[in-house]
Amino acid sequence: MIKFWKRKTTTSAPTGARPRPRVGSIWRNRWLAGALVAVLVGLAAGGGWWGWRTGVAGRLVDQAKWRIIATSADIGFRVNDVLVMGREETSRQALLKAVRLVRGAPILAFDLEAARQRVEALPWIRRATVERMLPDTVLVTVEERRPLALWQNDGQFALIDFHGEIILRKGLESYNNLLVVVGKGAASRAAKLLATLGVEPELMGMVKAAIWVGGRRWNLRLKGDIDVQLPEQDPGAAWKRLAEYEKTHQVLERDVQVLDLRIPDRLIVRKAPRKDKAVASPGQET
């Protein structure tokens, strides 16, 4: 079974730590290891041209390449460890399955590009690099997506990142504290909206959801079921204006249902309907 190493941000080894064993024959035959790698790289670079020119020669080059790989494995160029950097959300099992490494396999035969593509296909991975650390280690460096908001569209929810791309569609219970953005086109505009709202953090803490209206502007649903209508042009200025109104007049503490900020330098307030019930006289229906 392959050892799975996860590198921490601090790389200093503890006092008295024993270094991981290496294959001694590699270091006693550095010239041979270097020659093997150089020949293999040369064949990989020139083999395609030679094979294209001769056809038969291409097969000979391929056979020679695999003989060299087999020889390199005999002197210690075999997979022993996987070192991972940047993994937080992606599970160890999912990453190992994507890398598809078998302990003891010739490390020079490992297809780095194919492994990179498989790793980047994992839900949390935005980009990845896969490298050989000769003689026996494969280094996988990943950049994971950062969750931004929950996107609701056509009744379906998804977790999205700062680029508006979907991370997950299931298992979203842990992300209920994130803002919900609603509507077609809302996902790609969510990061810009949150940057605008973040200018007024206290007010932003009251926002429960944001609805992308008509492909042009946002409506915000605040705690207490208060709707805030932002303008199409310069919503940031309107948001700051609402923050000032709240500081000076406490408009959100009043019995309001809608705050319309679509007209510059003006706040239109629509009060919540009264919930008082009329008292019926005897014999009358209410």
Task: Please count the CA atoms within 13 angstroms of the CA of 265 that sit on its side-chain side.
Answer: 0
Q: Which domain holds residue 103?
A: 3-7+29-144
pLDDT band with cut points at 50, 70 and 90 for residue 120? very high
Q: What is the pLDDT of residue 278?
A: 44
Structure tokens belonging to residue 231: 């303008």
**pLDDT value of residue 7:** 59
Residues 253 and 237 in one domain: yes
The one-letter amino acid at 211: I
163/266 same-domain check: yes
Instruction: Tell me, yes or no, whether 284 lies in a domain.
Output: no
φ and ψ at residue 96, rounded to 5 degrees: -65, -40
Q: State whether 189 and 133 are in the same domain.
A: no
The radius of gyration of the chain's CA atoms, rounded to the nearest angstrom, is 31
- Confidence at 154, pLDDT banded by 50, 70, 90: very high
Can you read off the two tokens belonging to residue 6? 């996860």
Count of residues in the chain: 286
Longest dimension (CA), the chain: 108
Are 260 and 267 within 8 A, CB to CB?
Answer: yes
**Same domain membership, residue 238 and residue 194:** yes
pLDDT in tens, 159-192: 999 999 999 999 999 999 999 999 999 999 999 9
Structural domains in the chain (count)? 2
In the DSSP assignment, the letter for residue 78 is: B
Q: Give yes or no for residue 149 having a pLDDT over 80.
A: yes
Residue with tokens 């050892």: 3
Do 185 and 133 fall into the same domain?
no
For residues 122 and 57, state if they share a domain: yes
Are 108 and 211 part of one and the same domain? no
The Cα–Cα gap between 67 and 206 comes to: 67
Among candidate residues 115, 102, 112, the one with its CA nearest the CA of residue 133: 112
SS3 annotation, 202-266: HHHCCEEEEEEECCCEEEEEECCCEEEECCCCCHHHHHHHHHHHHHHHCHHHCCEEEEECCCCCC
Do 265 and 153 belong to one domain? Answer: yes
For residue 172, give the CATH number of its domain: 3.40.50.11690
Give the single-character DSSP code of 106.
B
Confidence of residue 74 (pLDDT cuts 50, 70, 90): confident
Domain shared by 156 and 220, yes or no: yes
Confirm whether 205 is domain-assigned.
yes
Contact 126, 143 (CB under 8 A): yes
Give domain status of residue 136, yes or no.
yes
Give the pLDDT confidence of 250-268 residue by residue, as tens digits.
999 888 999 999 999 889 9
Q: Which of 129, 144, 159 is the last residue of a domain?
A: 144
Which residue's structure tokens are 């209508």?
A: 229
Strand-strand pairing, 156-161 and 147-153: antiparallel
pLDDT over 60 at 116, yes or no: yes
At how many degrees (to 10) do helices 56-74 and 30-54 cross? 160
Q: Is residue 213 part of a domain?
A: yes
Question: Which of 95, 127, 144 marks a domain boundary?
Answer: 144
pTM > 0.85 = no
38: in domain: yes
Q: Given a cut of 50, is residue 283 above it in pLDDT? A: no
Residues 76 and 159 in one domain: no
Looking at the domain assignment, is residue 69 inside a domain?
yes
Residue finishing a domain among 96, 114, 144: 144
Exposed / middle / buried, residue 116 (Cβ in 10 Å: 0-12, 13-18, 19+): buried
At 1-41, the pLDDT tens digits run: 555 566 554 444 444 444 444 433 433 455 555 555 655 55
Task: Say yes or no: 234 and 129 in one domain.
Answer: no
Strands 217-222 and 207-213 come out as antiparallel
